[in-house]
Structure 1
Amino acid sequence: MAALIPPGVICGNKVPTILFPEDTSEERLQVWTAIANSFAFDWMLRRVLTTTVNYFLLQSVPLPKLAKNGLPWMKLVSATRELQTLDKAGSTSATYERMAQLRGEIDTEVAVAYGLDLNDMELVLHDFPILDRGQIALPTESKSTITRDSVLAAMAKRTGIRSTEWQRRAVEARALGARAYVPSE
């Protein structure tokens, strides 16, 4: 998990700190935070570490090449800013739903920036077996896949794939009360 840390907070060895002092707009921090919290980045990071992330391990994970002020960049900045606003808005169903939608869009933009397609994203998400363990499963299934289905629906939409299966599953799960991107703890 990556987060924007307020000024004056001390971070030790176990909390690698990334600064972009030349960017007073904080856009680079927002884009970096979006990338670092994506499933694609997390998946790659898990290939080089066990439980501890230090600065040197973090440096070994490549970042996608995004042009500042390009469309993917601006989408990530916009989504991250809206998430920051929603984080302070209070917990309502509508807030959680919008946050999940934004996180799905972020995951999709980052995956596309890394050059991943829908099949690649299915593989990435397969490596997160305890995802959604506290959420309600569809009636014929033993575990929830609300986050996976939401991400794949966003990815299909973004890449022009006409399949609606993941969207249908996500809508059905939400109707039962499942929420995407909600940790079990």
Structure 2
Amino acid sequence: MGFCDVGGVTNQRYLMASFIPPDVICGHSVPTIAFDPVDVRLMALWLGVANSFAADYLARRKGALHLTFTIMDSLPLPVLYDENSPVNRAIALRALRLGAVGNEMDSLWEEGRRLLEIGETETRADDPQARARAPGRDRRLCSLADQTSRADRDAPGLPCAGGGRTRGDAEGRLWDLR
């Protein structure tokens, strides 16, 4: 696990954490946290809670320009995974689906699938077949992200008929972001 050490309190997000792929070296701006013993369920739960708005708010209240281990230590982040908690499972499942994407995360995804008893129909966020089955999902997510992004708020876009603007994706589709 890794988290971004550099974060100004005026940035949109202060606490940003991620799974780190195996055999990847992180520099001083991405401090890493090792779980011993390795428990993918706890790692996914930790990631889901760490990237929540509540944890971000608490970290922002304590932080300045750098998110240090001292600040991370003071946050109420999970240290145990409760197998009987549907909330723990739901958070871990969502964090795993969003965080364990890409070929380098295949082993983490498969281990999480096994431990969380994820069915074959459940997919990761980067699965093109899942996007094809739910064509409106990407539009809603990108629309929400664009509407709340401070950096993109004044970015040029193509004018829409209703006074909004459009934004494109990697496949060249345009979305109306009114």
What is the TM-score with the length of structure 2 in the denominator? 0.50
From the two aligned structures, give the one with the greater strand fraction: 2
What is the TM-score with the length of structure 1 in the denominator? 0.48
From the two aligned structures, give the one with the greater helix fraction: 1
